[in-house]
Amino acid sequence: MKIQIKNRYTGAVIFECEADSLKLAVELAVKSRMDLSGANLSGANLSGAYLYRANLSKANLSGANLRGVDLRGADLSGVDLSGADFSGVNLSGADLSGADLSRTNLYGVNFFGADLFRTDLSGANLSGVNLSGTNLSGVNLYGANLRGVDLSDVDFSEANLSRVKW
Summarised one tens digit per residue, pLDDT across range 76-117 is: 999 999 989 888 899 999 999 999 999 888 888 888 888 999
18 shares a domain with 96: no
| Mean pLDDT, residues 58-87 | 94
Band (59; pLDDT cuts 50, 70, 90): very high
pLDDT at 86: 83
Q: Are 91 and 111 in contact (CB under 8 A)?
A: yes
Residue 24 has pLDDT above 90, yes or no: yes
Band (26; pLDDT cuts 50, 70, 90): very high
139 shares a domain with 87: yes
pLDDT at 107: 84
Residue 148 has pLDDT above 90, yes or no: no
8 shares a domain with 55: no
89 shares a domain with 12: no
How far is the C-alpha of 125 from the C-alpha of 91, rounded, in Å? Answer: 15
Model pTM score: 0.89
Percentage of the chain beyond pLDDT 90 is 71
142 shares a domain with 165: yes
42 shares a domain with 27: no
Of the two residues 161 and 56, the one the predictor is more confident about is 56
How far is the C-alpha of 113 from the C-alpha of 99, rounded, in Å? Answer: 16
How far is the C-alpha of 155 from the C-alpha of 22, rounded, in Å? Answer: 37
How far is the C-alpha of 122 from the C-alpha of 141, rounded, in Å? Answer: 5
Measured CA angle at 149 (ends 148, 151), to 5 deg: 135
pLDDT at 160: 92
19 shares a domain with 94: no
25 shares a domain with 48: no
Closest CA to 109 of 51, 164, 70: 70
Domain that holds residue 10: 2-31
Measured distance between the N- and C-terminal CA atoms of the chain, rounded to whole angstroms: 48
